Amino acid sequence: MAQSKKPRKGYKPKAIHLPMMAESRDRMAMKLHLNIETLITSPSSDAFNELCKKIASLTDALSHMRGRPIVDDRDAAANAIRTAVATLSQIQERSERTDTLAVTDLEALSLRNASGVLDVELARIPKNVMDASIIIVRHQLTEKLKQAA
């Protein structure tokens, strides 16, 4: 029997991506919008921290999907994440200066616009990647809290 000229390539298992179903995407999008509206209407440190965790999870998931940090990109999702992070850091800096957590009308508009773009991006992220990103962010936060203590 004649052998082929090229040797076969070895099998490389591919990562399994579970698609984001409409119900899961709607639930995650609703939580994102609710976190933003909670921060705007009744600002508290818990609402601020929850929104920061959501944005960090989305950033991690999108970076994983693209294979590079998303902050270097110039598309709508990257711009929305940069806008949300800049707005949240501005809120935090003012909160540290004045000892009051408050959201201005312009910051509220900025966060709402960013949430609209991120809402669309949720449908493109596989469910297992988003779940893993949430776990990674939660683990990183607990590690930072342990180091601070």
Question: pLDDT (tens digit, 9 = 90+) per residue, 80-105?
Answer: 999 999 999 999 999 999 999 999 99
Phi-psi region of 67 (alpha: psi -120 to 50; beta: other; left: phi over 0): left
Is the pLDDT score of 1 beyond 80?
no
For tokens 């596989």, what's the residue? 126
The pTM score is 0.84
What span, in angstroms and rounded, lies between the C-alpha atoms of 65 and 56?
Answer: 14
pLDDT category at 69 given cuts 50, 70, 90 is confident
> Is 95:31 a contact under the CB 8 Å cutoff?
no
